[in-house]
Every structure is written in C-alpha cells, then in structure tokens.
Amino acid sequence: MPTRLLRGCVIFNPAAGRGRAKQRLEHLVTNWPGETELWPTERSGHGRELAQKAAEYGFDFVGAAGGDGTVHEVANGILAVANSSVILRIVPIGSANDLAASLRHQFGATLAAEEGVAIDVGRVVSEHGRSEYFVCGLGIGLNGQVTLEARRIPWLQGLPLYAWASLRAVLRMSSAPSWTIQFDNEAVIESRTRMLSVLLARREGNFTLAPEATHDDGLFDILHVGAMSRFAMLHWLPRVAWSGPPNNHPLVHSRRTKHIRVVSASPLTAHVDGEMFCVPTDDVRELTAELLPTRLRVQILDS
C-alpha cells in the first residue's frame, strides 16, 4: 500500500533574517516529504490565527520557523482546536531557541520520526480570565522583567541579549515583593520572591535553569529565588549562565509540581515562552498554572 502524502504549512515572519527567511525555507522544504506551503505572517498574533486555520483544515503538520516566540504563537493556534492531531514542526531559526535545544537534548533523532514525540503543555490563567498555553515555561517576577528589557535591545541575540537584559533588570529592581504560593493541594506558603520559573524546558532565556527537566514526565520543574540582594544577583546570574542553578544556596529552591497558584499584593510581571503575559499596568495579581500531560506532538527535521 502506498504511503499517504503528508500535507502541511510553515508559518514564518517574512522580515526575519533581514528578509531572507522565505528563501531559506524554500530551499529547506524541498527536502521534506509531501507537500508544504509557506504561510507568511502579516502582524503580531497572526501566527496563532494561521496555525488555528491550518489545524482546522486538517493538515498533518504546521511548521513554526523562528524562535520560541513563533513556536509559542503556533502552538497556541494548534491547541485552540479541540482534539487536533496536527504535529507542530519546529524550524529553529530565531534568537532564542530554548525549546528546540531542550527537545534535542532529551529526544535526539527521535524528533525526526513521522509521528513526532508527545510533550507536556502548560496553561496559565490570570484572575481576569486571560489564558495562554506554554511549551517552554512561565517566568514571574525578575525573569518577566528580563523579557521586557530584552525587547528594548534589538542589536543583540541569544545569550548576550539575555545576559545584558538580565543586568539591566537587576540594576533596576526594587525590593522583593511578598507572594503567597501554593503547589498542588499543599498548604499555602508566604515568601518574599525575586523570581519564579515554572518550566517544561531545561532553559529559560538561554539560561539552563532546570537541567533535569523532561518534556513528558507530567511535572513542572520549579525554580524559586527568594529575597536575594542586587549584589548577590549580580554574582549569582553569571554562574547560572555557565553551570546552572546551585544546589546549596539558601535562597534558591527547586521542586516539581503539576499545579501552582501565585497571589501578590502588587501587580505581577510575567512572560510565557519569552512573550509578555502581563506587565504592571495590567494589574494582574494572581496567576494559576496547570500542566496538561502529553498534549502536543512536536517534530524537528534537520533537513
């Protein structure tokens, strides 16, 4: 019996790579089996709309050509379609490719299999009812501020970008706010918190914050940093960039959970997959994140 012809599309920003993204993709997809259409985005958020349309069409795969932000948009579009079996095919050509790096570390060549691999997905909801899916991680506090700073530095990419953004965020940070945090159904704890990472991937902003994280274990990897001073943060962050978080710092704690709720007396700053979820002017003071096990199938082809 002949193999069924695969059909799909690749969603990309035509301005990426100084306008050379389309030419690069045209060459790339000639090596893929089946039929592949190139769908350029026209505005912010358009990738989500296109991905949802492709999933509703019943395509076999929807490609996301770019960094973690593009993958985030496309994943949310796919996940908006109930019971969709479409595969997210990642083409990592962005400034931050945390998800692709983490997936390759865990799955290796298996990512190229026709059926892809099934990975966990997170969903965050604010007290105002806004929700987003995420596939890399949710960052609240200082790491949300780092993402804001990174958007103001267009001349850098990769680790240099996030290192410089981190420095700027630390120099501008105020005292650590007091949050109440609840993991799963455990007792609520109160903690002065500098930053909180809710991770599915090993990396956040090119920093390896959860070296033991896996994408199919049904658990978030949590990194909580307490009321660390500005001087201590400036000493701590470079070490994290090179060797990951320490195991013996009194203000740094790691754990795993399926569900987390954060409540703050002051407005929160948070990102999902490197895209801003809320800034202080949004007046979001409560966030809840839940894990959806093996909710999305993903794939990375090397050619």
Residues 83 and 144 in one domain: no
Residues 248-265: tens digit of each pLDDT: 889 999 999 999 999 999
| Between 97 and 8, the higher pLDDT residue | 8
Burial class, 108, CB count within 10 angstroms (exposed 0-12 / middle 13-18 / buried 19+): exposed
- Average pLDDT, stretch 284-299? 98
Instruction: Residue 250: give its domain's CATH number.
Output: 2.60.200.40
Among residues 44, 70, 94, the one where a domain terminates is: 94
Residues 176 and 248 in one domain: yes
Do the domain assignments include residue 303?
no
**14-18, 52-56, 185-189, 286-290: which range is least confident on average?**
14-18
| Between 55 and 301, the higher pLDDT residue | 55
3-state secondary structure the chain: CCCCCCEEEEEECCCHHHHCHHHHHHHHHCCCCCEEEEEECCCCCHHHHHHHHHHHHCCCEEEEEECHHHHHHHHHHHHCCCCCCCEEEEEECCCCCHHHHHHHHHHHHHHHCCCCEEEEEEEEEECCCCEEEECCEEEEEHHHHHHHHHCCCCCCCHHHHHHHHHHHHHHHCCCCCEEEEEECCCCCEEEECCEEEEECCCEECCEECCCCCCCCCCCEEEEEECCCCHHHHHHHHHHHHHHCCCCCCCCEEEEEECEEEEEECCCCCEEECCEEEECHHHCCCEEEEEEEEEEEEEECCCC
Residues 162 and 236 in one domain: yes
**HSE (side-chain half, CA atoms, 13 Å) at 298:** 29
Among residues 68, 94, 120, the one where a domain terminates is: 94
pLDDT score of 68 = 92
Residues 185-236: tens digit of each pLDDT: 999 999 999 999 999 999 998 889 999 999 999 999 999 999 999 889 888 8
Do the domain assignments include residue 66?
yes
Give the whole-number percent of the chain exceeding pLDDT 90: 70
Do the domain assignments include residue 105?
no
Residues 37 and 146 in one domain: no
pLDDT score of 56 = 97
Residues 76-128: tens digit of each pLDDT: 999 999 989 999 999 998 767 899 999 999 999 999 999 999 999 999 999 99
Residues 188 and 240 in one domain: yes
Among residues 71, 94, 117, the one where a domain terminates is: 94
Residues 154 and 268 in one domain: yes
Residues 29 and 145 in one domain: no
Residues 177 and 274 in one domain: yes
Domains identified in the chain, total number: 2
25, pLDDT greater than 70: yes
For residue 232, give its domain range.
131-294
Residues 136 and 250 in one domain: yes
Residue linked to tokens 């530095």: 153
Global pTM value? 0.93
75, pLDDT greater than 60: yes
Residues 136 and 272 in one domain: yes
Do the domain assignments include residue 188?
yes
pLDDT score of 19 = 66
Residues 170 and 288 in one domain: yes
